[in-house]
């Protein structure tokens, strides 16, 4: 059976370099291109890439994925920065290339996907909730894509359960002290040398708390998800947001 031809964009980066090695080592995949800043995207089509993995920067990802969709190259995207507006633009582009698949995975690690799932389950039982994400000092965006997604999923679960928006009792405080408001959920971002990628979801109810914590201790934690995304996206036309859709979680 012929190998799936895969490119990695952002191949000099922290996660991109790990992804290029993982693709190269996989028996059913062939690493046909490894691009970094300044490389022409035409190298993707010239190399005959069937799937491109984007692990770059929020400033670059829209152009990269746009190129892929225009050229019928499936995309697996870990890069952050996906606003509703950007997603709508991408959906419009995919409508013009209906057989192309794009997976946007806010987090490729199974533990982080499970954290989101468990948080969604807890959301309707415990009325107060805040998210703390903790990352390495090199991270460009805040809050993390994972934290933003987690907060959004919690907010949706709360709304579905008929829970009201959380009241914030703070009347005196410094700006930013209560974090960013993501769909009514406070999200706090820590950037600390020595960390990689971590998240706590803190729930509070009458006389009790529940903390769901996940730690990615090495970029290898993301690789099974990257490879799963590559293998599945070729048979999944259109836009998929979240690796959970490729995992049999129920």
Ligand X SMILES: NC(=O)C1=CN([C@@H]2O[C@H](COP(=O)(O)OP(=O)(O)OC[C@H]3O[C@@H](n4cnc5c(N)ncnc54)[C@H](OP(=O)(O)O)[C@@H]3O)[C@@H](O)[C@H]2O)C=CC1
- Residue numbers in the known binding site for (S)-2,3,4,5-tetrahydrodipicolinate are 136, 145-146
| Cα 143 to Cα 58: distance, rounded to the nearest angstrom | 13
- Output the CA torsion sign for 229, 219, 241, 246: positive
Q: Given candidates 197, 202, 230, 233, which one binds ligand LZUJQKHR under the rule CB under 6 A?
A: 197
Q: Does residue 13 belong to the site contacting ligand X (CB under 6 A)?
A: yes
Q: Does residue 152 belong to the site contacting ligand LZUJQKHR (CB under 6 A)?
A: no
Cβ 52 vs Cβ 64: under 8 Å: yes
Q: Does residue 37 belong to the site contacting ligand X (CB under 6 A)?
A: yes
Choose the binding region for ligand X from 11-19, 41-49, 180-188, 202-210 (rule: CB under 6 A): 11-19
| Cα 74 to Cα 29: distance, rounded to the nearest angstrom | 14
**H-type helices in the chain, by residue range?**
14-25, 42-46, 58-70, 84-95, 110-123, 145-160, 223-233
Q: Does residue 155 belong to the site contacting ligand LZUJQKHR (CB under 6 A)?
A: no
Question: Which residue ranges make up the annotated binding site for NAD(+)?
Answer: 10-15, 78-80, 105-108
Beta bridge partners of 53: 8, 76
- Residue (5 or 135) nearer to ligand LZUJQKHR, CB: 135
Q: Does residue 107 belong to the site contacting ligand LZUJQKHR (CB under 6 A)?
A: yes
CB of 5 to ligand LZUJQKHR, least distance (A): 26
Contacts of 19 (CB under 8 A, 6+ apart): 8, 11, 53, 55, 222, 223, 226
139 included as an active-site residue: yes
Beta bridge partners of 200: 132, 213
Binding site for ligand X (CB under 6 A): 10-16, 36-37, 55-57, 59-60, 78-80, 105-108, 138, 145, 222
Residues that bind ligand LZUJQKHR (CB under 6 A): 80, 106-107, 135, 139, 144-146, 197
């Amino acid at each position: 059976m012929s190998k799936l031809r895969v490119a990695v964009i952002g191949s000099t980066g922290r996660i991109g370099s790990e992804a290029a090695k993982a693709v190269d080592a996989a028996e059913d995949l062939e690493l046909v291109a490894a691009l970094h800043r300044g490389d022409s995207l035409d190298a993707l089509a010239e190399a005959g890439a069937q799937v491109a993995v984007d692990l770059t920067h929020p400033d670059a990802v829209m152009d990269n994925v746009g190129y892929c969709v225009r050229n019928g190259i499936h995309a697996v995207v870990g890069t952050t920065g996906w606003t509703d507006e950007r997603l709508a633009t991408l959906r419009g582009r995919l409508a013009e290339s209906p057989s192309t698949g794009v997976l946007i995975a806010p987090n490729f690690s199974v533990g982080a996907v499970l954290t989101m799932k468990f948080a969604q389950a807890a959301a309707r039982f415990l009325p107060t909730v805040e998210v703390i994400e903790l990352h390495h000092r090199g991270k460009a965006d805040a809050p993390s894509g994972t934290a933003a997604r987690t907060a959004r999923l919690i907010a949706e679960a709360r709304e579905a359960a008929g829970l009201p928006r959380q009241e914030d009792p703070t009347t005196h405080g410094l700006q930013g002290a209560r974090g960013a408001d993501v769909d009514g959920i406070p999200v706090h971002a820590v950037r600390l040398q020595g960390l990689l990628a971590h998240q706590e979801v803190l729930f509070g109810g009458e006389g009790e708390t529940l903390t769901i914590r996940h730690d990615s201790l090495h970029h290898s934690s993301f690789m099974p998800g990257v490879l799963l995304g590559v293998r599945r996206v070729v048979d999944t036309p259109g836009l998929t947001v979240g690796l959970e859709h490729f995992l049999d979680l129920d």
